[in-house]
Amino acid sequence: MRWVVVISSAFVLLRIPSFVEPLWYSDAGTYANIGWALNHGARLYIDVWDNKPPATYWFSAFLIGHLPTAIAMPLATSAFTAIAALGVATIGRTIGGTQVAVTATLSYVVVASLPNLDGNLFNSELCGATFVAMAMAIVLRTTSLSWSVVAGALVGMALLFKAVFAADVVVVVAVRAVIAIAEGQRLPAPSGVRTAIAVLAGCSITIAAAALSLLGQGALGAAIAVLTRADISYVATYGSGGIAGVAGISLTVVRILIPICAGTGMALALAQRRHRTAALLTWWLGWDIAAAMVSGRGFPHYVQQAEPVLCLALAVAASTLWQRYGHRRLLAGATVAAAVISCQFVLWIPSAEVALASGQRLPGLKDDGVAVSQVPAYYLDGYRKLADPSAATTFDGGFPTDLSQQRAAVNALNSHSTQADRVFVWGSIPWAYVLSNRMPAGRYVTLNSAYYVDQTAEATLFSDLEARPPAVLIVEVHPTPQALLDFLQRHGYQRVVKRVAGEDYWLLPEAAE
């Protein structure tokens, strides 16, 4: 009971400041903008889209449609973290007893909540990792076919949040085979085969249900085209860190294959020596580390996919040490620290590999809003804002988004259009459509990396804008592309100079009246 209080207290204290953050994060803003548009009649992958599978946007539509905008994402992030922590605790108890469960769960609550590891932000990786943890908890506790189908359905849900969770489909399908080897059974073990088939069946049911939903909206073909083209382009562009050609592809492939091959080889060797727990964790860890390192960009939320198994593996190692040497509390604290360091190391490897290959200096740690050095200020200023709203300026100013630009853009959209009008931001102003209650005139709710890696994106976007010229068009990208200037001139837009926090915006003639 004491450890339940400690873990629960850590969870609450680490997560509270996320509820008073401003709406600043671009990825969450993209999900919210798409979700808002879906709630108002848009079709996913036809009228609005980004480069992820549909579950992220469907779930965002649910959140935006049912919860206050300011707390929808933090509340969802906290709920997913809590459920994933329960999954980690269940797995820990199953494979190593109470001590492993407590240490792994405490470590997970910390790494999944720290802002320097994007624990304060809503991302697809957290959602997928939660479903995987629940699926693994099931397959490790029972060989029931009906429960194995449920586990498959859960890992299928993870895949619908992000394509890299295909790695976890492999893990869950084959984990019983790894256990069978560790128990001295010859392959194919009947129980392992049955479990694998049931898991694949459950996963297929989930994917088929999503495909039928898209088909019913006439969007399945568009979804397949978008996801295959976008993911291939994204990995080709960012997996190699800008190194082109065969060399860049080789860097990405090698980076992915090393943890998979090493993890698989070690898992088989450990299983043959009857080290069941070590074998299954090594198997799982190799695939999730590879998935976390597919992209060379190293954003902190990438490692969220591997956080549950990292914490479990470290807790098992710590348990072995304290059984031999004692010092349980000291080793529990060391395990938490090791989990944080391990996550940062996994994120650092891809950029370090690229730097070495291109003859550059080794990089520092990547952040996505809150750097390691800013963590103390994040909590101090966050609690100050909670106690005293006048302290909001200091806290809000710590995030890399121009909130004055956001407010000015929303005011411009509201002032010069009605809710029936279409509007558009040429660039990236997070949450602009949600906060203004306006529908985007083009399918790209932000011109982010998914837009720039798609060679057909500009032509597609202009086709959308020609079909529905926006009443207000805010230009956030400078210099303004010539094709956009031609579009504005062709439709007679009137320019309002430097009225949106230094940015120009343009009005259709009827909107300017």
14 token code pair: 């680490």
Phi, psi of 422 (to 5 degrees): -90, 145
- Cis peptide, bond prior to residue 188, ω within 30 of zero: yes
Q: What are the CA-CA distances from residue 398 to residues 374, 382, 393, 462 (Å)?
A: 8, 10, 9, 35
426 beta partners: 475
Q: What is the pLDDT of residue 433?
A: 97
Phi, psi of 277 (to 5 degrees): -60, -45
Torsion angle, alpha carbons of 117, 118, 124, 130, to 10: 60
Q: Using alpha carbons only, how large is the chain's radius of gyration in Å?
A: 24
Q: What are the CA-CA distances from residue 320 to residues 52, 97, 316, 323 (Å)?
A: 40, 12, 6, 5
Model-level pTM?
A: 0.95
Q: What is the pLDDT of residue 2?
A: 84
Helices (H) and strands (E) in the chain, counts: 22, 5
Higher pLDDT, 332 or 48: 48
Mean pLDDT, rounded, of the chain: 92
| Band (240; pLDDT cuts 50, 70, 90) | low
Higher pLDDT, 454 or 175: 175
Q: What is the pLDDT of residue 296?
A: 79
Mean pLDDT across the stretch 385-406? 93
| Band (298; pLDDT cuts 50, 70, 90) | confident
Q: What is the pLDDT of residue 419?
A: 94
Higher pLDDT, 486 or 330: 486
Q: Quick one: which of 113, 151, 156, 95 has its CA closest to 309?
A: 95
Q: What is the pLDDT of residue 27?
A: 95
Q: What is the pLDDT of residue 321?
A: 79
Torsion angle, alpha carbons of 146, 150, 151, 157, to 10: 160
Q: What is the pLDDT of residue 511?
A: 61
What is the 3 state secondary structure string of 311-364?
A: HHHHHHHHHHHHHHHCCHHHHHHHHHHHHHHHHHHHHHHHHHHHHHHCCCCCCC
Bridge-based pairing state of the strands 422-426 and 472-475: parallel
Q: What is the pLDDT of residue 450?
A: 85
Q: What are the residue boundaries of the structural domains of the chain, listed by start?
A: 2-357, 403-512
Q: What is the pLDDT of residue 246?
A: 62
**Does residue 103 have a pLDDT over 70?**
yes
Q: Quick one: which of 292, 135, 249, 102 has its CA closest to 202?
A: 135
